[in-house]
């Protein structure tokens, strides 16, 4: 009998890739999300529900050995505009998930966090993720619930939401022939392809990562100017790039998210990974096909 793994938020960008990777690794995968997954596989179970619905979460987690908690609000700009909704989803929802894990006697909870927990940026998204991490640690101390916190770097790749940075740049480049970047071009990010992140998330099940925090990033660090020039080259140099430093989003960090924090984390990177140039090319092709499909429709 296959081991049951639940992916809360499994219809989304990272969640859908994680669900696929778990299925390929031999797990019986259940996806729980507000909307059905467009990428659901025949062998995967889909449950439509809200993590704030205690009964629905309890029912979903019954019999699960591992639970990946990716549900909630992850768009920093949306979180900045809607703090109460962000708190309800990311903190109250997480508390419901933690209680459900105890009831179901889940072996380990793996919770998606962010490197923004180190930062002063990130607005209410960062605040709720810090609170969520503290809740998880407290549940382990009080009830013995084993956990692994996964702090992801800058994710990119297929199935990305329109608010995802790289997805937004590629879409604008293809639709408008230009990219308007709100910043100087010196902002640095540690990019990791979503498929690499999904694979690392499964490796995090190893016993040595129990009750640990892991930073999951790629090996390629680029500043925004280098990244946008790469998109320009892939598109044959036909895209104009406009830097607008006066319009830089204050909710995002510039060079590094790191500030002093008492909670350290080990860094986990793939040995074999998707090269960012190939990853951007794949994203351009996916976005191009989507745009042409919309126009044809």
Structural domains in the chain? 4-296 (3.40.50.720)
Q: How many CB atoms lie within 10 A of CB 105?
A: 12
* Cα–Cα dist 177/241, whole Å: 9
Burial of 41 (0-12, 13-18, 19+ CB in 10 A): middle
Q: How many CB atoms lie within 10 A of CB 104?
A: 20
> In the structure encoding, which two tokens stand for residue 167, read together?
């997805």
For tokens 């937004």, the residue is: 168
* Cα–Cα dist 282/274, whole Å: 10
Helices marked H in 150-274: 165-176, 194-203, 224-234
Q: How many CB atoms lie within 10 A of CB 126?
A: 23
Let me know: does 2 contact 26? Beta carbons within 8 Å: yes
User: Taking phi first (over 0 means left), then psi (-120 to 50 degrees means alpha), and beta for anything else, what does residue 228 get?
Assistant: alpha
Task: Write out the chain's pLDDT in tens, 297 residues.
Answer: 899 999 999 999 999 999 999 999 999 999 999 999 999 999 999 999 999 999 999 999 999 999 999 999 988 888 889 999 999 999 999 999 999 999 999 999 999 998 777 767 778 888 999 999 999 999 999 999 999 999 988 899 999 988 888 899 999 999 999 999 888 888 877 888 999 999 999 999 999 999 999 999 877 777 888 889 999 999 988 899 998 887 565 544 444 444 435 456 777 767 667 878 888 888 888 898 888 876 665
> In the structure encoding, which two tokens stand for residue 85, read together?
């909704």
Whole-structure pTM value: 0.84
Of 249, 236, 125, the residue nearest 181 (C-alpha): 249
* Cα–Cα dist 239/245, whole Å: 19
């Amino acid at each position: 009998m296959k081991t049951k793994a639940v992916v809360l938020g499994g219809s989304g960008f990272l969640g859908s890739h994680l669900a696929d990777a778990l299925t390929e690794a031999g797990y019986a995968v259940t996806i729980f999300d507000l909307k059905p997954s467009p990428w659901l596989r025949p062998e995967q179970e889909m449950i439509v529900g809200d993590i704030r619905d205690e009964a629905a979460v309890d029912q979903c987690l019954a019999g699960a050995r591992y639970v990946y908690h990716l549900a909630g609000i992850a768009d920093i700009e949306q979180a900045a505009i809607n703090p109460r909704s962000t708190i309800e989803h990311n903190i109250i929802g997480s508390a419901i998930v933690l209680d459900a894990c105890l009831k179901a006697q889940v072996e380990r909870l793996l919770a998606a966090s962010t490197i923004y927990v180190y930062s002063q940026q990130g607005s209410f998204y960062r605040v709720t993720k810090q609170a969520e991490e503290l809740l998880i640690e407290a549940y382990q101390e009080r009830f013995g619930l084993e956990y692994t916190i996964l702090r992801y770097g800058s994710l990119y790749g297929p199935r990305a939401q329109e608010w995802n940075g790289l997805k937004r740049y590629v879409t604008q480049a293809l639709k408008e022939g230009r990219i308007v970047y709100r910043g100087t071009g010196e902002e640095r990010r540690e990019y990791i392809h979503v498929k690499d992140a999904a694979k690392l998330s499964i490796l995090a099940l190893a016993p040595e990562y129990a009750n640990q925090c892991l930073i999951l990033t790629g090996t390629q660090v680029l500043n925004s100017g280098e990244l946008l020039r790469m998109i320009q080259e892939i598109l044959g140099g036909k895209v104009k790039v406009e830097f607008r430093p006066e319009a830089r989003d204050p909710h995002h960090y510039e060079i590094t998210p790191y500030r002093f924090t008492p909670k350290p984390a080990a860094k986990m990177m793939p040995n074999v990974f998707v090269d960012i140039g190939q990853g951007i090319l794949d994203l351009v092709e996916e976005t191009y096909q989507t745009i042409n499909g919309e126009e044809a429709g």
